[in-house]
Structure 1
Amino acid sequence: MQVTETLNDGLKRGYDITISASELDAKVNEKLVEARPEIEMKGFRKGKVPMALLKKQYGQRLLGEAMQEAVDGAMAEHFEKTGDRPALQPQVKMKGDDWKEGDDVEVEMSYEALPEIPEPDLSAVTLEKMVVKADDADVDEALEGLAKQAQNFEDKDGAAEDGDQVTMDFVGKVDGEAFEGGTADDFPLVLGSGQFIPGFEEQLVGVKAGDEKAVEVSFPEQYQAAHLAGKAAVFDCTIKAVKAPKAAEIDDEMAKQFGAEDLAGLKSQIAERLEAEYAGASRAVMKRALLDQLDDAVKFDLPPALVEAEAQQIAHQLWHEENPDVQGHDHPKIEPTEQHKTLAERRVRLGLLLAELGRKNEIEVTDAEMTQAVMNQARQYPGQERQFFEFIQQNQQMQQQLRAPIFEDKVVDYVFDQATVTEKPVDKDTLKAAVEKLEEDE
């Protein structure tokens, strides 16, 4: 095997790799020797077929495998020798179009190498950690929200208003004929809940117990029941009761509905949850400050292909956010702007830096952490958890998408431990303003 450098410009590398015909033939013979003990052929005992006959029968089939393995082996040997780490999958193509069996194999390999990344002085990083304690007002506000969730409905005199519960019998008809699934008795409907198709609930505002109301609506064009999609319908409704919402009493009984022993226990749980939310928001603010400092402190050459791919992804994502009605990718080509490229350079630089810090400090995502991440995602697909697990197991790209944020967070936590962090007590409004500023800067 012979490797000749053809390009060395910045991070760009190019090589010609030549694998001699004799090397390739030796690899084919090696495969035949390995397979020979299991091969049977008419006129010969198992494992006793002559090599010449085996080569005539199977040599052509094994040649492609041998060629691929030889090229892969040459690439692996090259990277081990040079220490290069390609930023993306190397491009490999055969030279010439007239190769035939018995010729040397010549391929061109090109790639962009990952740069040498200087190690920052993490002890010089100084960060401020916002600390927010949950006060009584915060806890009381959360309790009031829970009381609304646990609300009951009580009979009321007068007309139904938005938010009231209307209990009714109804029969739905299309072209004067009742349709399947359009009839119910004693059905409780909270007006404004959006439980029924658009235009239905609004027409019940103002009804009273004992009223009869014909609700005229049209099913949406994209309705799930195709035979009703776009059809005009009339629902004959008999109003049996109108009830107004009443928030639950904030007491021990309400606390038990939310899994606490008593009201004091519920307040304690709420305080812990609020402070965990505050801590998460504070960490996000501190992480941004850390990334800003690292971005300023460490500079190195970036692989152009990585920057270009990241800029394309940013531009594509932002375009879809601005055009939410376009679900697929049937749209004009999106060209990244200078702003997209600047953001891409920052993301690539920080991504490579964090990856290098993780590599040098042997930070890894454990199997238990991956399992937990998969379980968290699987909860979004109730009833299909097993299928989701199997999908993840068979999809390396999805595994990487789950692993990447866990790895990044572990590296960030490592840097936090090395940095000088000062706690700063603040109120929740100050923390909220800091979080909102993060979102504005994205």
Structure 2
Amino acid sequence: MQAQLETLSGLERRLSFSVPREEIGKQVDARLKRVAKTAKIAGFRPGKAPIKIVAQQYGFRVQEEVLGETVERSFGEAVQEQKLQVAGYPRFEPKADAAEDGDFQFIATFEVYPEVAIGDLTGKEIEKPTLTISDAEIDKTVDILRKQRTRYERVERAAADEDRVIIDFKGTIDGEPFNGGSSDNYAFLLGKGQMLPEFEAGIRGMKEDETKDVEVNFPADYHGKDVAGKTAVFSITVKNVAAALLPEVNEDFAKAMGIADGDVTKMRDEVKKNLEREVRFRLKARAKENVMTALIEAAPVDLPKSLVGLEIGRLAEQAQADLKQRGIDPKLVPFSPAMFEAQAQRRVHLGLVLAELVKANGLEAKPEQTKAIIADLAENYEDPADVIAWYYEDRQRLAGPESMALEDNVVDFVLSKAKAVEKPVSFDELMGQQG
């Protein structure tokens, strides 16, 4: 088979090649004979129709199948001969000026993988975040756990921030009720921004069984288009005011947290252990992100548009699946490729760089590393042994931990070459909490 390769621009290539018409004819004849053995054709018993009639009914489809398979195989042989690494999927087209009675001629347009050269990492500064868990972080976490178990008790005073209030309200705009403007026995926490500021301000200071009219101006960008930018008057009746009561940190609280004997010290030790594990994961994730950014900066490379396009498609599918899981119809959320382009480019870039770095430096995950990561993940569950067994029951389940081990190897390798600069981070910043 003769093939001619051209460089179009950057990573794009064009390969012209031919497929002998005689070879295609032989394959079509052979396949038609196999089809004829089971073909169902009106007026003939299965397998008894003349080959000419079988060809009339199935010939075109069979030739398309044979030609498609042969073109793909011929293309694969050609790129192997040329020692090309094809990125994405090629686009096949028949050659426009090919003779009708000659060999089949095709043009394949495709991209190749770029050469990846990773620059010198020596001396490059990479931030490595640090945090040591102290009693203050344990206290803050215990306080969060207490708030998660808050109960509310009715009070006879005026409503204040942090209270749970139950109200009836009826809203009107220009004296007319509007959709979504009324509700009975509506409960919410005052001062948490769950309602519009003017609405909450009107309720603040009201007592049980008190009724008041409150004027509320809807913002111009309010999500409800029917009321956006308009002024409404709400008639509000407070049905109940309840103060928040947090549980005391005592034996009962410790038992509720899973400490069988109710020992508060043991509970705090368990909180510290869980915090240290979570902090370790988050610190590793941040360090990894900084290392990956450094690698991208150290290895500029042309990205195959086809790979970026495929990654955009995957990201869009993930986003749609996430919406479905949350009960949102993806059709209601407009997606455009531009929304995912930057993320797709970064992921493709990293994929190319990591593949080269791992191959060149033997950074593949070792079985013992994968085993240690699975054991660490299993510690988050009540029965770690069951979790470990679950991972090893299916080879595909090991892909995640193996990927984590490989990334750990990359991070350690890069930090050993570069200059790691430790940077303390606050607990709230790392955990994404407000102070």
Name the TM tier (shorter chain): 0.5 to 0.7
- For 1:253, what is the secondary structure of its paired residue? helix
Q: Is the 8 A contact 1:171 1:178 kept in 2?
A: no
Report the Cα distance in structure 1 between the residues aligned to 2:247 and 2:66, rounded to whole angstroms: 75
* Pair 1:216–1:403, CA change in 2 (3 A): farther
Q: Does 1:268 align with 2:269?
A: yes
1:179-218 → structure 2 map (5 Å cutoff): 182=182, 184-185=184-185, 188-196=187-195, 199-216=198-215
Tell me the CA shift for residue 37 of structure 1.
1.4
Tell me the CA shift for residue 180 of structure 1.
9.7
Report the Cα distance in structure 2 between the residues aligned to 1:36 and 1:248, rounded to whole angstroms: 81
Report the Cα distance in structure 2 between the residues aligned to 1:138 and 1:30, rounded to whole angstroms: 76
- For 1:87, what is the secondary structure of its paired residue? strand
* Pair 1:152–1:403, CA change in 2 (3 A): same
Tell me the CA shift for residue 138 of structure 1.
1.2
Counterpart for residue 134 of structure 2: 135
* Pair 1:95–1:362, CA change in 2 (3 A): farther
Aligned amino acid, residue 163 of structure 1: E
Tell me the CA shift for residue 167 of structure 1.
4.1
- Aligned pairs, how many? 373
Report the Cα distance in structure 2 between the residues aligned to 1:27 and 1:309, rounded to whole angstroms: 36
Q: Is the 8 A contact 1:27 1:66 kept in 2?
A: yes
1:161-180 → structure 2 map (5 Å cutoff): 161-168=160-167, 170=168, 172=170
* Pair 1:330–1:412, CA change in 2 (3 A): closer
Counterpart for residue 287 of structure 2: 286
Aligned amino acid, residue 163 of structure 2: D
Tell me the CA shift for residue 352 of structure 1.
0.8
* Pair 1:59–1:425, CA change in 2 (3 A): closer
Q: Is the 8 A contact 1:112 1:303 kept in 2?
A: no
Q: Is the 8 A contact 1:222 1:229 kept in 2?
A: yes
Q: Is the 8 A contact 1:173 1:182 kept in 2?
A: yes
Counterpart for residue 13 of structure 2: 13
- For 1:159, what is the secondary structure of its paired residue? coil
Q: Does 1:429 align with 2:425?
A: yes
| Larger deviation, residues 4-13 vs 40-49 | 4-13
* Pair 1:205–1:352, CA change in 2 (3 A): same
| Larger deviation, residues 345-354 vs 413-422 | 413-422
* Pair 1:286–1:75, CA change in 2 (3 A): same
Report the Cα distance in structure 2 between the residues aligned to 1:271 and 1:37, rounded to whole angstroms: 73
* Pair 1:125–1:266, CA change in 2 (3 A): farther
Tell me the CA shift for residue 72 of structure 1.
1.2
- For 1:40, what is the secondary structure of its paired residue? coil
Tell me the CA shift for residue 283 of structure 1.
1.2
- For 2:87, what is the secondary structure of its paired residue? coil
Structure 1 unpaired stretches of 5+: 314-326, 370-401, 437-442
Superposition RMSD in Å: 5.3
Q: Does 1:412 align with 2:410?
A: no
1:95-134 → structure 2 map (5 Å cutoff): 95-96=95-96, 102-115=101-114, 132-134=131-133
- For 1:5, what is the secondary structure of its paired residue? strand
Counterpart for residue 71 of structure 2: 71
Counterpart for residue 355 of structure 1: 355
Q: Is the 8 A contact 1:127 1:421 kept in 2?
A: no
- For 2:107, what is the secondary structure of its paired residue? strand
Report the Cα distance in structure 2 between the residues aligned to 1:180 and 1:126, rounded to whole angstroms: 55
Counterpart for residue 239 of structure 1: 238
Report the Cα distance in structure 2 between the residues aligned to 1:222 and 1:125, rounded to whole angstroms: 47
- For 2:66, what is the secondary structure of its paired residue? helix
Counterpart for residue 387 of structure 1: none
- The percentage of counterpart residues that share the same residue type is 27
Counterpart for residue 89 of structure 2: 89
Report the Cα distance in structure 2 between the residues aligned to 1:189 and 1:14, rounded to whole angstroms: 64
Q: Is the 8 A contact 2:98 2:105 kept in 1?
A: no
Q: Is the 8 A contact 1:129 1:421 kept in 2?
A: no
Structure 2 unpaired stretches of 5+: 314-332, 371-396
Aligned amino acid, residue 75 of structure 2: M
Tell me the CA shift for residue 404 of structure 1.
10
1:279-428 → structure 2 map (5 Å cutoff): 279-288=280-289, 290-291=291-292, 294=295, 302-303=302-303, 305=305, 328=334, 349-356=349-356, 409-416=404-411
- Deviation string 1:349-378 (CA, Å, 9 cap, x unpaired) is 5421323456787969xxxx9xxxxxxxxx
Tell me the CA shift for residue 207 of structure 1.
0.8
Q: Is the 8 A contact 2:215 2:234 kept in 1?
A: yes
- Deviation string 1:379-409 (CA, Å, 9 cap, x unpaired) is xxxxxxxxxxxxxxxxxxxxxxx99987754
Aligned amino acid, residue 147 of structure 2: K
Report the Cα distance in structure 1 between the residues aligned to 2:12 and 2:179, rounded to whole angstroms: 68
Report the Cα distance in structure 2 between the residues aligned to 1:146 and 1:415, rounded to whole angstroms: 36
* Pair 1:75–1:134, CA change in 2 (3 A): same
Report the Cα distance in structure 2 between the residues aligned to 1:405 and 1:346, rounded to whole angstroms: 20
Tell me the CA shift for residue 156 of structure 1.
4.7
Report the Cα distance in structure 2 between the residues aligned to 1:355 and 1:80, rounded to whole angstroms: 21
Counterpart for residue 376 of structure 1: none
Report the Cα distance in structure 2 between the residues aligned to 1:166 and 1:354, rounded to whole angstroms: 55
Tell me the CA shift for residue 86 of structure 1.
1.2
- Deviation string 1:219-274 (CA, Å, 9 cap, x unpaired) is 897549x9x99998765444354333343322232334444443334323321232
Counterpart for residue 316 of structure 2: none
Tell me the CA shift for residue 50 of structure 1.
2.6
| Larger deviation, residues 91-100 vs 27-36 | 91-100
* Pair 1:141–1:177, CA change in 2 (3 A): closer
Tell me the CA shift for residue 201 of structure 1.
2.8
- For 1:90, what is the secondary structure of its paired residue? strand
